Structure 1
Amino acid sequence: MSSLFHPFEGLAAQLLPHSSTSHNDGSHDQSHLQRVWKNVCAIQEKEGGDLRILLAATVLHDCVAVEKSSPLRSRASTLSAEQAQHILGAMGWSQQDCEAVGQAIQSHSFSANIPPASLEARILQDADRLDAIGALGIARCFYTAGRMGSSLYEPEDPKAENRPLDDKRYALDHFPAKLFKLAEGFQTKRGQEIARERHARMERFVEEMLGEL
């Protein structure tokens, strides 16, 4: 797996054992890290940023696993940031670099609602959110709904025209409740461009699903 993190295969091999991707969650497994890194590289190529910091932040951004349904969910990125700094400090990284990685990780999460304060933080946030939208976002949405025991949709009112949205019970509600809002908040120009394309894919999917219903 570390070979997919070019050109930092050696660093990735050191960090992957700490990534907490073995907790049986296919939406936050090692393939998720690889996709986020691919997004990071696509954005960094246009925007700049320190790739070494970004690699460490990518691999460790979910190093403390917190389920979507957990009351600690809003603190997941802060817990991962703290753990990442501890891991990197033990490896001999400077305090400045540890803090840069921690800062990027802390603000990547939608649930945390912490504004990114550095270029690397903006890139990681965009790269992670890109994996939550588009075709991959659709797949992850329904996968997560299945893990949480949610229904596909509310059969009497799937569009939620006469009821409040409830994305804890219905997967389809998660699109207007959260996923359709993500494209508005991207931090980088390149991230915004990719997000618009993926957002359009989600809109087409929901339109087609509702048409079939």
Structure 2
Amino acid sequence: MNLSQVAAAFRPFDTLAAQLLPQVEDDAGDGSHDLSHLLRVWNNARRLQAEEGGDLRILLAAVILHDCVRVEKNSPLRSQASTLSAQRAQEILLSRGWTQEDAQRVAHAVQAHSYSAQVTPLTLEAKIVQDADRLDAIGAIGVARCFYVAGRMGSSLYEALDPQAQQRPLQDTRYALDHFPAKLFRLQDGFQTAAGAAMAQARQERMRGFVEQFLDEL
């Protein structure tokens, strides 16, 4: 994919997308936070916006810029990633003539999207971006991303003698399977919009079904 082709997928905001995408073109080789991820989150956001409302221009900018500062999952700075991205997003938009108010709306949505940052989304757009990003972390895509990241970080699939962590603490930085109860199964309870919660329920069922099948094969 080249950037012009990707920008076209963000219609009717393809011109704005073409301006912002070069700011996030370098994904540091992270296939779980690449251009495909941005497109999936945008598609989620549009589906949510169609039911919940919200400013699509703000949503588009927040979606494209929500990971504009790259911080690896195993970095001690991981909890600050969304704050760093929010600061950078605001700088980018102000340099392109956005008003302070609109740039701040985007920045808030960027900062609040992160699970680890624990920032409460206060605007509808921030709630939609958080839900749209979390939808991409669960379901079939979520399963794929979980094992992709585990491989990238050098983690094992599961702990051989106690895969369900019945007699040990969860260690999702060491075992991919631990990441499901440690985080992914918990995401469904935190959705901000009714439309997002409904989509999350379906994806949660797919993800739980996968884990049940995985354990059955063990």
Give TM-score, length-normalised by structure 2.
0.97
The answer for the alignment partner of 1:7 in structure 2 is: 12
Counterpart CA distance in 1 for 2:25 and 2:89 is: 11
Alignment of 1:51-130 (within 5 A): 51-130=56-135
Secondary structure at the aligned position of 1:203 is classed as helix
What is the alpha-carbon root mean square deviation over aligned residues?
0.6
Q: Which amino acid aligns with 1:195?
A: A
The answer for the alignment partner of 1:22 in structure 2 is: 27
Counterpart CA distance in 2 for 1:48 and 1:127 is: 14
Q: Aligned-pair distance for 1:142?
A: 0.2
Q: Which amino acid aligns with 2:101?
A: Q
Secondary structure at the aligned position of 2:142 is classed as helix
Contact 1:66/1:76 (8 A) holds in 2: yes
Contact 1:21/1:28 (8 A) holds in 2: no
Equivalent of 1:142, from 142, 147, 151?
147
Counterpart CA distance in 1 for 2:64 and 2:26 is: 10
Q: Which amino acid aligns with 1:95?
A: Q
Number of residue pairs matched by the alignment = 213
The answer for the alignment partner of 1:202 in structure 2 is: 207
Secondary structure at the aligned position of 1:199 is classed as helix
Alignment of 1:129-168 (within 5 A): 129-168=134-173
Counterpart CA distance in 1 for 2:172 and 2:58 is: 34
Q: Which amino acid aligns with 1:211?
A: D
Q: Aligned-pair distance for 1:21?
A: 4.1
Equivalent of 1:188, from 166, 190, 193?
193
Contact 1:20/1:62 (8 A) holds in 2: no
Q: Deviations over 1:54-83 (max 9, x none)?
A: 000000000000000011100100000000
Counterpart CA distance in 1 for 2:40 and 2:61 is: 14
Q: Which amino acid aligns with 2:125?
A: E
The answer for the alignment partner of 1:32 in structure 2 is: 37
Counterpart CA distance in 1 for 2:177 and 2:154 is: 13
Q: Deviations over 1:29-51 (max 9, x none)?
A: 00000000000000000000000
**Percent of matched pairs sharing the same residue:** 63
The answer for the alignment partner of 1:47 in structure 2 is: 52
Instruction: Give structure 1 stretches of 5+ with no counterpart.
Output: none
Q: Which amino acid aligns with 2:181?
A: P
Q: Which amino acid aligns with 2:128?
A: I
Contact 1:107/1:114 (8 A) holds in 2: yes
Q: Aligned-pair distance for 1:23?
A: 1.1
Counterpart CA distance in 2 for 1:22 and 1:149 is: 19
Counterpart CA distance in 2 for 1:155 and 1:22 is: 33
Contact 1:57/1:102 (8 A) holds in 2: yes
Counterpart CA distance in 1 for 2:10 and 2:97 is: 21
Q: Aligned-pair distance for 1:22?
A: 2.9
Contact 1:20/1:65 (8 A) holds in 2: no
